[in-house]
Amino acid sequence: MTVDTSFTPEDLAFRDEVREFLSQAYDEELQARLASGEPKVYKQAVIDWQKRLYEKGWIAPNWPVEYGGTGWTPVQKYIYAREEGFANAPTVVPFGLNMVGPVIYTFGNDEQKQRFLPDILASDVWWAQGYSEPGAGSDLASLKTRADFAGDHYVVNGTKTWTTLGQHADWIFLLARTSTDVARKQEGISFLLADMKTPGIAVKPIITIEGSHEVNEVHFENVKVPLENLVGEEGKGWTYGK
């Protein structure tokens, strides 16, 4: 038995389209801005690149079509990823498009989908991931950040660490403990969305050994997170985060 691994004429036409797009969209000017090392220039360059993908309709290959995905076949996804690698084009920042976006369209309510998904696709909001903590990284279920119910909101206290590119973030999705009366430590953890401009949130840089600022600590001190920013059911955040 032999397997035909050659591309179809349609696949080859798609490959040529991808090559042409990358050669034009990922131009020398954009490459220079991405390599500038200046934080504001870098952030805007990343956003500009992702907006070019969005305008082309290629920003979210793995999202369902009904939420803005491309509808590509597995072969087309492979072709795009391969050509992207050949062009040395930057991959998208994963926290919005590959992490919180899928959680919202899978477990969020209709209001959350309408509120957050368009801005994620258009790169109008930069997201950060609030999972790891001092003492709760590889054993994330031991997290200590608390979210105490207070009527129409939660009050969040705790610290997240190794928050990649958190200095650029507009919003953060985080896991926080909403209950300690549980049989397993993976229970009682909820998935919350917080505006980084909320009073009580502070970002502290972590400078790595080579002198770069990529990761951060994020401190929450009596931070009010509206109840409407709870994704899915309270206490099911561990499931959603996985």
Q: What pLDDT does 37 receive? A: 81
Residues 83, 23: contact at Cβ < 8 Å? no
pLDDT at 137: 86
Q: Is the pLDDT of residue 3 over 60?
A: no
- As a whole number of angstroms, the distance between CA 144 and CA 132 comes to 10
- What Cα–Cα distance (Å) separates residue 86 from each residue in 22, 79, 125? 10, 11, 28
pTM of the model: 0.93
**Helix, strand, coil proportions of the chain in percent (round to 5)?**
40, 25, 35
pLDDT at 33 over 70: yes
Express each pLDDT in 56-69 by its tens digit.
Answer: 999 999 999 999 99
**pLDDT bracket for residue 1 (50, 70, 90):** low
Q: What are the tens digits of pLDDT across the range 212-235?
A: 899 999 999 999 999 999 999 999
* Mean of pLDDT over the chain: 95
Contact (Cβ atoms closer than 8 angstroms) between residue 223 and residue 161: no
In percent, the amount of the chain with pLDDT more than 90 equals 91
Statement: residue 75 has pLDDT above 50: yes
- Per-residue pLDDT tens over the stretch 131-168: 999 999 889 999 999 999 999 999 999 999 999 999 99
Q: Which alpha helices (DSSP H) does 1-109 contain, by range?
A: 9-25, 28-34, 39-56, 74-86, 94, 101-107
pLDDT of the residue at 150: 96
